[in-house]
Amino acid sequence: MGRKKRKREVDEQLLNSLFTIEHEWKQIQSIVEKSIEPTADGFYKQDLAQAKYLFLLREARRRKISAIRYHK
C-alpha cells in the first residue's frame, strides 16, 4: 500500500512540474515572439524550457500518467 501511495505522489509531482514548465515555456515563447530583436539569451531560455517540457512529457507517457485522473 505504501508503494502505491508514493507512486501516486510522484506522479502528481510530475504532472505539477509538467504544467508549470509548460506555462513557463509558453510565457518565454510569447515574449520572444513579441520582441523586436530577441536576444540569444531569450532563445536559449526558450529552448531550455522546451527541452524540460518535452522531457517531462516523455516521462509522463512512459509512466502512462493521465492528467484527467489527477485533476478532480
DSSP 13-64: HHHHHHHHHHHHHHHHHHHHHH-SS--HHHHHHHHHHHHHHHHHHHHHHHTT
**Domains of the chain, residue spans:** 13-63
The DSSP symbol for 3 reads H
- The whole-angstrom separation of Cα 40 and Cα 12 is 34
Q: Is the pLDDT of residue 4 over 50?
A: yes
Q: Quote the pTM value.
A: 0.81
33-65 pLDDT per residue, tens: 999 998 999 999 999 999 999 999 999 999 988
